[in-house]
Amino acid sequence: MNVRPLLAIATLGVSTLLCASAATAGPSTAAPADGPDRILERNVHGATAVRALGDELEIVAQRYDRTSGQLAALLRSDPSLWVDPTGLLHVKEPLPTEVVESAPEAGPFPNQNTFALHSRLGAERTIFLDFDGGPVSGTAWNDSYTVPTTSQPAFDLNGDPTTWSQAEHDTIQSIYQRVAEDYRPFDVDVTTQDPGAAALDRSSVADTQFGTRVLVTPSTDAATRICGNGCGGVAFVGVYNLVGSSYYHPAFVFPQLLSNVDKYIAEAASHEAGHNLGLFHDGTSTLGYYSGHHNWAPIMGVGYNEPLVQWSSGEYADANNAQDDVAVIQSFGLPLRADDHGSGFATATALDTARKASGLIERRTDADVLSFRRTCSAKTTITVTPFENSPNLDVRLRLHTAGQVLLTSKDPVSGEASFDVATGLKATISRTLAAGTYYLTVDGVGALTPATGYSDYGSLGKYSLQISRCP
- Of 337, 339, 340, 442, nearest to 394 by C-alpha is 442
- Of 410, 466, 402, nearest to 433 by C-alpha is 402
Can you give the length of the chain in residues?
A: 471
What whole-number distance in Å separates Cα of residue 69 and Cα of residue 55?
A: 12
Quickly list DSSP for 282-298.
--BSS-SS---BTTEEE
pTM for the whole structure: 0.90
Lowest pLDDT segment from 81-85, 178-182, 241-245, 453-457: 81-85
pLDDT digits (tens, 9 = 90+) for 323-364: 999 999 999 999 999 999 999 999 999 997 778 999 999 999
pLDDT at 5 over 50: no
pLDDT digits (tens, 9 = 90+) for 45-99: 889 999 999 999 999 888 787 899 988 987 887 787 888 898 888 878 888 887 7
CA-derived radius of gyration, the chain: 23
Q: Is 385 helix (H, G, I), strand (E, B) or coil?
A: strand
361 and 151 in contact (C-beta within 8 Å)?
A: no
Question: How far lies 270's CA from each of 92, 165, 212, 345, 379, in Å?
Answer: 15, 24, 12, 36, 42
The kind and range of the H/E element at 399 are strand 395-401
Within 8 A by CB and 6+ apart from 158, the residues are 165, 167, 168
Categorize the per-residue pLDDT at 35 as very low, low, confident or very high, splitting at 50, 70 and 90: low
What whole-number distance in Å separates Cα of residue 193 and Cα of residue 4?
A: 14
Domains of the chain: 2-16+93-280+321-331 (no CATH), 44-83 (no CATH), 345-467 (2.60.120.380)
pLDDT digits (tens, 9 = 90+) for 175-224: 999 999 999 999 999 999 999 999 999 999 999 999 999 999 999 999 99
Compute the C-alpha angle 391/125/296, nearest 5°: 25
